């Protein structure tokens, strides 16, 4: 379920085709012209509608968000309604803010970065409508690292991104450099297995139509051991991945020990 695809954003993580764009030359914080508010408000309404074209993402998100909250709460020894209070969090490839906003509601000071400016403007409008302050930027992890320097964030969420970038190891290294000492990064992606090809590519793209055909290329998928190796080289300590599995009878996703298709991995610095 991609969001940030090597500088191009694709649906279901979930960008409409109109929001695709190449990476900007520099990191920026877009402003919203009053004349644009209605347009991006309509786009935000579609993003956040669980019955829209983004329905698969809304099915996928609850299990993922629950696990992320639990893992971050454990790492920082936090409890309560806002376990992320005071923590700096980066959502790289944030799309329309479907992860950024829940993190902000948990108390995090969230920065959302996406390579497609329409996504950022959509997320910005929706956050304002929801009364949330989120620092949305148009750009890439590399540009953010150049602008902010290393060790900027307590938490870096790197979700459904690495399988689409040109150089996964370098991308992971850039994201790892943004993590503060004592911080944590969470990577979510698709395993390079025959079962993932059948379900996440053939099934999701060609049978169910959850994703546009050609969204994923099997050779670009990344195995957990490859993510682990890159993170270790970048100075992080990766943990055993967990799976995000689909139950067709309940039409829902759940966290499991099966990392053969979708998986999440935490890594600490």
Extract the annotated binding site. 64, 93, 114, 159
Chain-centroid distance of CA 158 in Å reads: 5
Annotated binding site for S-adenosyl-L-methionine: 64, 93, 114, 159
Longest dimension (CA), the chain: 49
Rg (CA), the chain: 17
CA distance 19 to 4: 11
- 20-26 contact pairs (CB < 8 A, 24+): 20/116, 21/115, 21/116, 21/117, 21/118, 22/115, 23/115, 23/139, 23/140, 24/115, 24/117, 24/138, 24/139, 24/140, 24/143, 26/139, 26/143
Task: Please enumerate, as own/partner, the contacts of 131-134 that have beta carbons within 8 Å and a separation of 24 or more.
Answer: 132/101, 132/104, 132/105, 133/104, 134/97, 134/100, 134/101, 134/104, 134/110
Q: What is the DSSP letter of 96?
A: T
Tokens, residue 232: 């270790």
């Amino acid at each position: 379920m991609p969001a940030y695809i090597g500088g191009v954003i694709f649906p279901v993580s979930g960008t409409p085709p109109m929001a695709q764009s190449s990476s900007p030359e520099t990191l920026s914080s877009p402003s919203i012209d009053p004349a644009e508010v209605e347009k991006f408000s309509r786009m935000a309404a579609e993003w956040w509608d669980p019955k829209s074209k983004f329905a698969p993402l809304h099915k996928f998100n609850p299990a993922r968000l629950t696990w992320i909250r639990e893992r971050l709460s454990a790492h920082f020894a936090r409890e309560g309604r806002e376990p992320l209070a005071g923590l700096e969090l980066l959502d790289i490839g944030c799309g329309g803010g479907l992860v950024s906003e829940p993190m902000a509601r948990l108390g995090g000071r969230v920065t959302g970065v996406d390579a497609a400016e329409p996504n950022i403007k959509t997320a910005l409008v929706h956050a304002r409508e929801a009364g949330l302050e989120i620092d949305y930027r148009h750009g890439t992890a590399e540009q953010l690292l150049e602008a902010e320097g290393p060790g900027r964030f307590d938490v870096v969420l790197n979700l459904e991104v690495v399988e689409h970038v040109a150089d996964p190891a370098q991308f992971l290294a850039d994201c790892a450099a943004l993590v503060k000492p004592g911080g944590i990064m969470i990577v979510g992606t698709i395993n390079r297995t025959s079962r993932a090809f059948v379900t996440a590519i053939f099934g999701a793209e060609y049978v169910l139509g959850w994703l546009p055909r050609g969204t994923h290329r099997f050779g670009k998928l990344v195995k957990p051991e490859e993510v682990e190796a890159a993170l270790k080289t970048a100075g992080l300590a990766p943990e055993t991945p967990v799976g995000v599995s689909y139950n067709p009878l309940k039409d829902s996703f759940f966290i499991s020990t099966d990392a053969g298709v979708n998986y999440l991995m935490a890594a600490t610095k």
